Amino acid sequence: MSMGGPAVLVEMAAAELRSGRAVIVPTDTVYGLAALPENVDLLFELKQRPADKAVAILVARPADAEGLFDPLPTTRRLMESCWPGALTIVQDGCGVRCPDHPLVQALASAVGPIATTSANLSGQPTPDTAAEAAAAFPAVQLVIDGGQLQSPPSTVVEVTEAGLSILRQGAIDVEGIVE
């Protein structure tokens, strides 16, 4: 566990990520197991998760998603209406989210987009506390405690030229936004 002000925690987490290690961070929904995208294999290894399951990329601000894909009009509307917030948008095979959490936004501002997945072993429940997340991943050296998190997970939608598909209904109802 780590103590200190938000700027110190961001610096510590950024250093861990830049060193090729994973960290556990609170988000606006659940605790996330995070690494830089070039180290995404570490997340699959730690989670004991099949490599064909996608992870989300967290960005500091909506404009940062445009470096990952060229937003379709529906994607742009969703980004403008729901970000920052609990909506993961999948386009061109890339799932991206701009969380409404100042620590994660500051961390993504410092290091760039962050590959993240829920901080639980594959198939296990998502932990509500930093202590539970830390217990699941004893190899992770930095766990930032954001208190008890019991929000619904993010809604996950896929946007293609053909339209929008809801892959997982979560915190945000997108039905009225894109009609």
pTM score: 0.92
**Mean pLDDT of all residues belonging to the chain:** 92
The pLDDT confidence band at residue 2, using thresholds 50, 70 and 90, is very low
Question: What confidence score (pLDDT) does residue 1 get?
Answer: 45
- Please report, as a single letter, which amino acid is at residue 151: S
- How confident is the model over 20-58, as pLDDT tens digits? 999 999 999 999 999 999 999 999 999 988 877 889 999
Q: Is 91 left (phi over 0), alpha (psi -120 to 50) or beta?
A: beta
- Looking at residue 151, what DSSP letter applies? P
The DSSP H or E segment spanning 77 is: helix 73-82
Residue 100 and residue 133: Cα distance in Å, rounded? Answer: 20
Phi, psi of 111 (to 5 degrees): -115, -10
User: What SS3 state is found at 119?
Assistant: coil
